[in-house]
Structure 1
Amino acid sequence: MSKITKQTMDQQNTERVVDQDYPLEHVPKSARKSLLSISCVLIGFTFFTPTMASGASLGAAFKFDELILIITAGSIILGLYVASLCCIGARTGLTSVLQSKYTFGKAGAKWADIILGGTQVFWYAITGEYMGSLFAMALGLDTFGWKVFFILFWGVIMGLTALYGVRAMAIVSYVAIPLMAVLMVIVMVMAIREAGSIDAIRAITPSSSMTVTSAITVIVGTFASGGTQAGNWARFAKTGKAAFIAGLFGFLIGNGVMIFSGMLGGLVFGTGDLIELMISMGIVFWALIILTLNIWTTNNATAYAFGMAGAELFQKNNKKPFIIGGIIIALLMAIFGISNYFIPMLNLLGTFVPPLGGAIIGDYFFVSKGRIPKLEYVTFKTWRIAPIIAYILGCASAYLGGLFNVGMPALQGILIAMIAMPIIHSIFVKCGLKDEHEVAENAEYI
């Protein structure tokens, strides 16, 4: 590659960029946003009502004091995992699927496009069906026709803000987060009043059983898939440190608080769906307002994620057609009852998605030592075999762990892939096997 000046490269990049969310580019320093903005987007993503149901399942299986320790441990694991990927995203300025291209190669990245984009289409469908059912029920219009109407109406409206990228997502989060915070305070007060006191809550005996490792898996699994793609938004942070803080805050605090609220609901009221609880108490208007904003922040992020995955898959520097296409597919899935396959899909997500992030972390920090060449200086291999082996090992450990109820499948999938990555790479180097991309001599590293 001939030597190119920084100024010339910047001019070329400006000419190439079609989408100002940079689906096929490094995010330039001029486009970086504040820690507050990135944190709000990530917290808005984790403020997801169905997460409360996960907390409720824990609330029925453990005593209060045990639950505090379990939620803390699970949230720390999830927070550190996501924060590491956020740090990589900000330091490289790359989406999760573009980072996969460095780790797995051109063809390997296509698998990341399919599985990461596909999981987010699935989540958009799940939330769409949830919104349609709840609105129809709450307004006394509980028929299939009205359910379809609300699925389509909210699916389209929420998708519009994703088209306008991170800035629009941040605005929605600024409105939604305070309301969700108020909801969670109300829930805590209601739970204490219903039980009589904190001591009464602590004295509640479990009505079901679950192992501690299974409980931590539930916490990690709720956002292991979405968290693997957190770099899509964290890449707009000004520094890797700021992105790490935003990721840790969003997924340790945000997701942890949602799990905690659901746990209180499960302990005291016997349900983790606090929106349905509010509707049953007659607080329909505020329940629907909070529900709408809550789902909106998450659907923004999911639509944005599958838009980015589609842009990389088809090498089109514009996320919008893929957001629109993904929403159409998701709404059809919602109408035809995708929630019937919710649990099997969750198991698949927990098996195949987290090891992807583990391999990326292992490759970036332990093989590349935190420095990669810019995209324009790299001729990418079709496949990188060492990372693919590490990923397969991570998936196998997660699958077998779930099959035989050993360990914490999502966590061990991440750790095995992350640890195997530098080990297998070292073996390849010692055997003289070339498994690296071709990099120009005058390459600029980031």
Structure 2
Amino acid sequence: MTQNDPGNDYPLSEVPMHARKGLMSTAMVLLGFTFFTATMFAGGKLGVAFSFSEMLAVIALGNLLLGMYAAGLGYIAFKSGLNSVLMGRFCFGELGSKLSDLILGFTQIGWYAWGTATAAVVLGKYLQLSDDTVLGLMVLFGLMFCATAYVGYRGLEILSYIAVPAMMLLLMLSMWVATLKIGGLDALLAVVPSTHLDWSTAITLVFGTFVSGATQATNWTRFSRSAKVAVLASLIGFFLGNGLMVLIGAYGAIVYQQPDVVEVLLLQGFAMAAMAMLLLNIWSTQDNTIYNFAVAGCNLLRTRRRKTVTLAGAVIGTLLALLGMYDMLVPYLILLGTVIPPIGGVIMADFFYRYRGHYPRLADTRLPAFNWAGLAAYGVGTVAAFGSPWVAPLVGIGAAALTYVALTCVLGTRTSSAALPDL
């Protein structure tokens, strides 16, 4: 199998220009990724803590920051043709990058276990199925959800073209019915908050819910045909797409005291639509999630057999779902939402400062086993995020980037300017 095998989506090399995609394709794949039920729970907490107008401002600011972060990494992905785990070889070293592979890969397998279990449990409750049947559904869904990821980018794209418009129509219908139920826009504006959240905590909730996904969105923005496509697709996916999920959760909490759109659709009398939403919503994120795992796994093992790693990841995720890991996932994901963003901070500092905006071709570059400046900067960013009373992911990104620049200056490892190779 050659390094440029398109069927495996170039897991260990740059994406060549002839394989690049346009805005519609890239944006649809990213929307399929960010249209995720779990994000709505963050919106549910905002919906009962702020007035409607203030809540909209929090959602807009938090998701704008998230979109800008994704767009920054997306621009690097377009310029280099690489994803975050391959970029990690430059900023962490040939062996040091395996740390980011493990962190990013295991994050995604945790999400996959949660999504697989959630789909089976919710469907089981709705159809009043036995526990054994629910376990059987977990196995079925665990294998089914990876089918489009097994195909590769093209499989994700096809599913997104089906799922995203269908989910968008259902979401708009649900919001319209909810607005009518509460008494119109004036009634929404008059809602009095029942709890309190400060802005810092609220922005942390919005930004932190999907920052781990934004760090790995380079798996698809590296397929962008231009810088404009990469940046706009990132903003569409993470500012608009993730923002809509948070808003839907807030709507449900205000009107129905329930942030989960599936439960809201059931309360609104759309039972079949609710089950369709559940499967489309989770599947369109699950395939992206297991694709992320496969890409990280390929870099960790230095193998181009992405399809094999995809299947292995689906089996591991399914086993974790059967073992009940999804019950312990919330604190686990909060932890990972703190330790993942500094990776993006180091990558951006490495690309824009050390490499002056142009990576050399990966295959032609001899990299050290460990880039200690990158590893130390990541450690500083993670510690700063854990100890921050403010927006922890942002603090982690900023601290990691600034530390990397400082260490690069001290160590004198900044490169000379190099021309971007033709991809």
Q: TM-score, normalised by structure 2?
A: 0.96
Instruction: Indicate yes or no: 2:156 matched with 1:173.
Output: no
Structure 1 residues 27 and 132: CA distance shift in structure 2, 3 A: same
Q: Could you tell me which of 229, 239, 247 is aligned with 1:260?
A: 247
Distance 1:183 1:167 in 2: 25
The 8 Å contact of residues 91 and 374 in structure 2, kept in 1 or not, is answered as: yes
Instruction: Indicate yes or no: 2:61 matched with 1:78.
Output: no
Residue 89 of structure 1: aligned partner = 77
Residue 423 of structure 1: aligned partner = 406
User: Pairwise mapping of residues 207-286 of structure 1 onto structure 2 (< 5 A)?
Assistant: 207-286=194-273
Distance 1:144 1:62 in 2: 39
Residue 109 of structure 1: aligned partner = 97
User: Pairwise mapping of residues 335-350 of structure 1 onto structure 2 (< 5 A)?
Assistant: 335-350=322-337
Q: Could you tell me which of 410, 413, 417 is aligned with 2:396?
A: 413
Structure 1 residues 277 and 188: CA distance shift in structure 2, 3 A: closer
How far did 1:300 drift?
A: 1.1
Unaligned runs of 5+ in 1: 1-13
Larger Rg: 1
How far did 1:323 drift?
A: 1.0
Count of aligned pairs between the two proteins: 421
Instruction: Indicate yes or no: 2:48 matched with 1:60.
Output: yes
How much identity, in percent, do the aligned residues show? 36
Distance 1:392 1:302 in 2: 25
Q: Secondary structure at the match of 1:233?
A: helix
Which is worse superposed, 335-344 or 107-116? 335-344
Q: Secondary structure at the match of 1:71?
A: helix
Residue 319 of structure 1: aligned partner = 306
| 1:32-61 Cα shifts (integer Å, max 9, x gaps) | 111110110001100112211211111111
User: Pairwise mapping of residues 9-158 of structure 1 onto structure 2 (< 5 A)?
Assistant: 15-18=2-5, 19-141=7-129, 143-158=130-145
The 8 Å contact of residues 373 and 445 in structure 1, kept in 2 or not, is answered as: no
How far did 1:435 drift?
A: 8.0
Q: TM-score, normalised by structure 1?
A: 0.91
Distance 2:330 2:245 in 1: 20
RMSD (Å) for aligned C-alpha atoms:
1.8
Unaligned runs of 5+ in 2: none
Residue 388 of structure 1: aligned partner = 375
The 8 Å contact of residues 113 and 321 in structure 2, kept in 1 or not, is answered as: yes
Q: Secondary structure at the match of 1:106?
A: coil
How far did 1:407 drift?
A: 0.6
Q: Secondary structure at the match of 1:128?
A: helix
Distance 2:407 2:46 in 1: 38
Q: Could you tell me which of 357, 377, 383 is aligned with 1:370?
A: 357
The 8 Å contact of residues 377 and 443 in structure 1, kept in 2 or not, is answered as: no
Residue 292 of structure 1: aligned partner = 279
Q: Tell me which amino acid in the other structure corresponds to 1:387.
A: G
